[in-house]
Structure 1
Amino acid sequence: MAATQVIRSEWTKIRSVASTVWTLSLAVVVTLALSMLISALSANEFDKLNAQDRSDFDPTFISFAGMTLGQLAMIVFGVLVVSNEYSSGMIRTSLAAVPQRGTFLFSKVAVATGLALVVGMATSFAAFFLGQAMLGEHRAQLGDTGVLRAVVGGGLYMTLIAMFSMGVAAMLRSPMLGLGILMPFFFLISNILGNVDATRKVGRFLPDQAGSRIMQVVTPVGDDTPYGPWGGLGIMALWVIAALGGGYALLKRRDA
């Protein structure tokens, strides 16, 4: 089967599965709602901040506060896109129709990534504009230094989260196992390693810790992170490549 036919087939699969559509919709709604709430609260508390906190105040990054929960939906989307066929048993039929496993995985990831990119970019720009509206006089402008980079970076970050989840799902094949590992990793282990003094230098090289750097415009005083915004996104991209590479290697070696 030609690659274009496989891509068309994968698009049909994703579009026809209600859970993936609802998951992406949830990513948008949750991200925007939480971003607006946190931005409004930050504007209300600004006058109570001390001089140090005011100098570190990053209105752009605050408007992305909802990304924390939005990435949860992206993780679920990435896992379900790949592992749904394993849990339903359809993977045997799919691999029989597309015996070239590299083409099969590439097409699935390419279609899902394109969809995640569109949703991620739309969500990032919407979160920025709505968040800045809530911040009022403390808001940033899209033309300010570093702001457009941060907003575009927010969309790329969401996309890379989905891609990383696809790679992990391809290795594990089980939606429950994939979610059971990724959820604690991003929402517990990464936060602990990134905030405890003994492990902070290791934690900041984890995919979410490094990737989220792209959404920051103001660098806090005393921040000694050894990479910049694009460097952090590059580190996250390396994690994604490793996860997808692992998924492809195991897909080639294992039976369906």
Structure 2
Amino acid sequence: MSFPAILQSEWTKIRTVGSTVWTLASALVVTVGLSALLCGFIDSTFEDMPKQQQLTFDPTMASFAGMTLGQAAVIVFGVLVVGTEYSTGMIRTSLAAVPRRAGFLAGKLTAATALALVVGLVTSFVSFFTGQSLLGDHSIAIGEPNVLRAVVGAGLYMAVLALFSMGMTMILRSSMLALGTLLPLFFLISPILSSVDATRTVAEYLPNQAGGAIMQTVQVTLDGNEPPYGPWGGFAIMVAWALAAVIGGFLVLKNRDA
């Protein structure tokens, strides 16, 4: 089967499984909705914020506040794209139709990551302009330095997050195991490590915290210091995590029976 045919097949699988489509749609709604609520709240309480927070306030990042929860839907999307085939046994049919496992995996990852990128970019631009409209005098224009990079970067973050989730699911070969690993990593382990001085440096190199630097225009950490990498450096760390997961997933797919 040719690669375009593989892409077409994978796209058909994605759009015909309602759960995968709805998870991406919910990522958009949750991210935009929560970001809008927070931006409206910030505008009404800005003068009550501590002076240090006012000085380091990042209006662009405020527009992506909902990404903290919206990324959960992106993780679920990536897990379902791969995990559904294992849970239903469809993986055996897929590999019978596409014996070249590298081609099969490349087609699946390309189709799903491209879709996540499109939805991610739509989400980031809608979230940005909605948030800035609610920030009033504290807003920023997209033409200001580093702002467009941050908005595009938010979309790239969602795409790479989906890719990382797919790679991890391919390694674990189970939706439940993948969700049980990824959700605690992003929503439990990462925040805990960030809140402890002794482990904060470790947390800075986790995929969500490193990748999140691409969405910032004010480069400061929780303790008020500059991070050990710039926006693109942090994003490169996240990409490295995703590539490692994909390579691991390919090795499992290649060396184990479906």
- TM superposition score category, shorter chain reference: over 0.9
- Equivalent in the alignment of 2:179: 179
Q: Cα offset for 1:193? A: 1.2
Of 241, 249, 252, the residue aligned with 2:251 is 249
Could you report, residue by residue, the CA deviation over 1:141-169 in whole angstroms, capped at 9, with x for unpaired residues?
A: 00011100110100001111111000001
Alignment of 1:33-182 (within 5 A): 33-182=33-182
Q: Cα offset for 1:51? A: 2.4
Tell me if the contact between 2:27 and 2:70 (Cα under 8 Å) persists in the aligned partners: yes
Tell me if the contact between 2:219 and 2:226 (Cα under 8 Å) persists in the aligned partners: no
Aligned-residue CA RMSD (Å): 1.0
SS at match of 2:220: coil
- Equivalent in the alignment of 2:240: 238
Distance 2:30 2:53 in 1: 27
Tell me if the contact between 1:194 and 1:209 (Cα under 8 Å) persists in the aligned partners: no
SS at match of 1:198: helix
- Equivalent in the alignment of 1:24: 24
Q: Cα offset for 1:45? A: 1.1
SS at match of 2:57: coil
Q: Cα offset for 1:3? A: 1.2
Could you report, residue by residue, the CA deviation over 1:74-113 in whole angstroms, capped at 9, with x for unpaired residues?
A: 0000000011010001111111111100000000000000
What is the letter of the counterpart of residue 108 of structure 2?
K
Distance 2:88 2:25 in 1: 23
Tell me if the contact between 1:207 and 1:236 (Cα under 8 Å) persists in the aligned partners: yes
SS at match of 2:198: coil
Distance 1:11 1:53 in 2: 45
What is the letter of the counterpart of residue 249 of structure 1?
L
Q: Cα offset for 1:50? A: 3.0
Q: TM-score, normalised by structure 2?
A: 0.97
Distance 1:97 1:220 in 2: 50
Q: TM-score, normalised by structure 1?
A: 0.98
Q: Cα offset for 1:123? A: 0.1
- Equivalent in the alignment of 2:229: 227
Q: Cα offset for 1:191? A: 1.2
Q: How many residues are paired up? A: 256
Q: Cα offset for 1:12? A: 0.6
Give me the identity figure in percent. 59
SS at match of 2:197: coil
Structure 1 unmatched runs, 5+: none
Distance 2:6 2:53 in 1: 52
SS at match of 1:141: coil
Distance 1:8 1:186 in 2: 32
- Equivalent in the alignment of 1:200: 200
Could you report, residue by residue, the CA deviation over 1:209-254 in whole angstroms, capped at 9, with x for unpaired residues?
A: 0000111111338413210000000000000000000000110000
